[in-house]
Amino acid sequence: MRFALDEYAHLKSPIHRWNPQYKLIGLLTLMFAFATVEDLRLLPVISTLTIILYLLSRLPLSFLLTRLRYPGIFLFTVVAILPFFSGETVIWQWGIITLRQEGLLAVVLIVCRFLAIFITGLVLFGTSSFLNLIKAMRSLGLSPILADMMLLSYRYLFELAYQLNTMQRSTRLRGFKPTQFSWRNLQVYAALAGSLLVRSYQQSQEIYKAMQLRGYGTSMKSPQSKRSIDVYSVIALIITLAIAIGLIGLEFLL
C-alpha cells in the first residue's frame, strides 16, 4: 500500500519555490478569505484565483480529481437536497419535485467556496513535503508536542496500514469471507481493531523509549539556523495577503 502525500512535492513551480512558512501564512489567509465570501458576484473572482493558483503549482489534474472524490461525495450528500427545499422562488416544477432559485444559488455558493478552499489546501499540501510543512508550523508557533504527534502519526500511519493489511490477509488465508455481513464477521472486525489498538499502544511505548535514549524531552537548545531573507517568498506572501484582504474588503463593501 502506498500513500502519496508527498508525491508531487519535488516538482519545480513558482508555488514549490515558495518558502513553506510564508506559503502557509499566505494560503491559509487566502482560504479564510474564500470562506468569508457570501456575495455571488465574487464567485468568478475566487474561482479564477483558484484556477490560476492550481495552474501555477503545476500539479496534475489527476491529483485534484483523485483527492476530490470522497470529499466531493460528502459535499454532494450535504447540498443535494438544498435546491428542492430551500427558498421561496420556484423556477421549475414537475409533480411534487420543485426546484427553487434560492436553494440553487446556495448550492452554487457552497460548491464554489468549497472547491476554492479545497484546491488551495491541496496546493498548500501538495507543493511541500509534509515534514517541511510541520517544521514551518512549528516555527510559526505550533506546539512542539502537537508537531511531534503529527510527525509520528504520519510516520506510523504506513505501519498501521501494513499491519492491518497483514492481519486481513491472514484472515482470508484461513477462510474468512469479509464481504459477508454477519454477527461473527463483526466480531472478527472488532478483534482486528482491538489487536491493532493494543499493538500500536505497545509500539508507542517502545518508540518513546527510543526517543528518550536519544535525548528527547530534555534537549539542549541547538544553535538557530542562519536564515537569509527569501525575497521571492516575501513578495509572494505580500501579493497573497493583498488579494485576501481585497476579497474580504470587497465582500464587506458589496
Partner 1 sequence: MSQTTPEQINSSSTDLVDKNGIIVEDLVFSYPNQNPILEEISLTLKPGEQIALLGKTGTGKSTLMENLVGLKQPNSGKILIQGISLEPKNLFEVRRQIGFGFQEPNDQLFMPTILEDVIFGPCNYGVSPEEATEQAQELLADFGLADVTHRPVHELSGGQKRLAALAAILALNPSILILDEPTNGLDPWWRRHLAEILPELPVQVLLIASHDLNWVRRVTQRAMVLQQGKIRVDMPTEQLLQDSSVLESCGLPLDY
Q: Where are the extended beta strands (E) located within 52-143?
A: 90-94, 97-100
CB of 155 to partner 1, least distance (A): 5
Q: Bridge partners of 92?
A: 99
218: contact with partner 1 by CB under 8 A: yes
Residue number with CB closer to partner 1 (222 or 228):
222
The DSSP symbol for 197 reads: H
Contacts of 6 (CB under 8 A, 6+ apart): 129, 130
Neighbours of 182 (CB within 10 A): 9
**Binding partner 1 by CB under 8 A: which of 108, 147, 207, 248?**
207
Triad 75, 78, 79: Cα angle to 5°: 85
88 versus 206: smaller Cβ distance to partner 1: 206
Asked if residue 32 binds partner 1 (CB under 8 A), the reply is no
- Does 139 engage in binding with partner 1 (CB under 8 A)? no
CA angle in degrees (0–180, nearest 5) for 122-124-126: 60
> Is residue 155 a contact point for partner 1 (CB under 8 A)?
yes
Shortest Å, Cβ 169 to partner 1: 17
Secondary structure string (H, E, C) spanning 134-187: HHHHHHCCCCHHHHHHHHHHHHHHHHHHHHHHHHHHHHHHCCCCCCCCCHHHHH
- Region binding partner 1 by CB under 8 A among candidate stretches 35-43, 165-173, 182-190, 216-224: 216-224
Stretch that binds partner 1, among 18-26, 116-124, 139-147, 205-213 (CB under 8 A): 205-213
C-beta closer to partner 1: residue 125 or 154:
154
Q: Please give the Cα distance from 1 to 196 (Å, whole number).
A: 17
Q: How many CA atoms lie within 13 A of 44 on its CB side?
A: 1
Among 144, 182, 223, 231, binds partner 1 (CB under 8 A): 223
Nearer to partner 1, 61 or 220 (CB): 220
- Cell triple for 133: 510543512
Determine if 131 is a binding residue for partner 1 (CB under 8 A): yes
Please give the Cα distance from 108 to 191 (Å, whole number).
44
Site for partner 1 in 86-125 (CB under 8 A): none
Which part of the chain contacts partner 1 (CB under 8 A), choosing from 51-59, 178-186, 199-207, 236-244? 199-207
Contact between 144 and partner 1 per CB under 8 A: no
Binding site for partner 1 (CB under 8 A): 130-131, 151-152, 154-156, 158-159, 162, 203, 206-207, 209-216, 218-223, 225
